[in-house]
C-alpha cells in the first residue's frame, strides 16, 4: 500500500471542535509522517466550504477557524492534479456502478490509482471500498 487517500469527512472530524471521532483521532495518531496523504483537488474546496459554513452557523469561532487551518497546514497532503476527460469517465463509471456521488467516486478512484488506503468516515464509501478490497484503517 502506498499511503492514504484522505477524504474531507475524516479531516473535518479531526479539526472541527463540535465534531469528534475516535476513528479520526486514531487515524491521525497512527499515520506515519512518511505515509503520503493523497487528496483530489476537490478536497480543498470541500474543506474550505465546511469551515466557512461552520463560521456562518457559529459552530466555529474565528480563533477555532485559524486553528483548523493551522492543523491542515501540518498535514503533509499531496494534491492529485490529474484531471481531464479520462478521469471524468472513470468518476462517472464508479459513481454509476457503486451508487456513489461523484465526489466520493473521486476519492475512491484516487485510492485505486495510487494503490493507497482510504481514510474516510463515510459509511457508504467504506462499504464500497471493502467490497472491492481497498484498504481501510482496521478497527
- Which range of 27-41, 62-76, 90-104 scores highest in mean pLDDT? It is 90-104
The answer as to whether 60 is a domain residue is yes
Which value, to the nearest 10 degrees, does the dihedral of the CA atoms of residues 25, 117, 132, 115 take? Answer: 170
What residue spans of the chain are helical by DSSP H?
8-15, 22-30, 42-56, 62-74, 85-98, 102-113, 123-132
The answer as to whether 32 is a domain residue is yes
pLDDT one-digit tens code per residue, 100-111: 999 999 999 999
The answer as to whether 76 is a domain residue is yes
Arithmetic mean of pLDDT over the chain: 92
> Which CATH number covers residue 56?
3.40.50.1010
pLDDT band at 1 (very low <50, low <70, confident <90, very high): low
Domain coverage including residue 111: 4-126
The answer as to whether 21 is a domain residue is yes
Query: Is pLDDT at 88 greater than 70 in this prediction?
Result: yes
Alpha-carbon Rg for the chain, nearest whole angstrom, is 15
Q: Extract long-range pairs of 130-134: CB within 8 Å, 24+ residues apart.
A: 131/98, 134/108
Q: What mean pLDDT is predicted for residues 107-133? A: 94
pLDDT at 101: 95
pLDDT band at 45 (very low <50, low <70, confident <90, very high): very high
pLDDT one-digit tens code per residue, 6-42: 999 999 998 898 887 889 989 988 888 888 999 999 9
The answer as to whether 44 is a domain residue is yes
Question: Which strand (E) or helix (H) includes residue 119?
Answer: strand 117-119
If one counts the domains in the chain, the total is: 1
Rounded CA gap, 19 and 5, in Å? Answer: 21
Query: Is pLDDT at 139 greater than 60 in this prediction?
Result: no
pLDDT at 138: 67
Q: How many CB atoms lie within 10 A of CB 54?
A: 21
Amino acid at each position: 500500500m502506498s499511503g492514504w487517500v484522505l477524504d474531507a469527512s475524516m479531516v473535518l472530524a479531526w479539526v472541527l471542535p463540535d465534531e469528534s471521532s475516535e476513528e479520526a483521532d486514531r487515524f491521525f495518531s497512527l499515520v506515519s509522517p512518511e505515509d503520503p496523504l493523497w487528496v483530489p483537488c476537490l478536497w480543498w474546496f470541500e474543506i474550505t466550504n465546511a469551515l466557512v459554513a461552520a463560521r456562518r452557523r457559529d459552530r466555529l469561532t474565528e480563533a477555532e477557524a485559524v486553528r483548523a487551518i493551522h492543523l491542515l497546514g501540518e498535514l503533509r497532503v499531496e494534491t492529485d492534479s490529474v484531471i481531464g476527460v479520462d478521469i471524468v469517465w472513470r468518476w462517472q463509471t464508479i459513481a454509476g456502478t457503486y451508487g456513489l456521488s461523484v465526489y466520493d467516486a473521486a476519492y475512491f478512484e484516487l485510492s485505486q490509482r495510487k494503490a493507497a488506503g482510504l481514510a474516510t468516515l463515510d459509511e457508504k464509501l467504506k462499504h464500497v471500498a471493502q467490497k472491492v478490497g481497498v484498504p481501510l484503517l482496521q478497527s
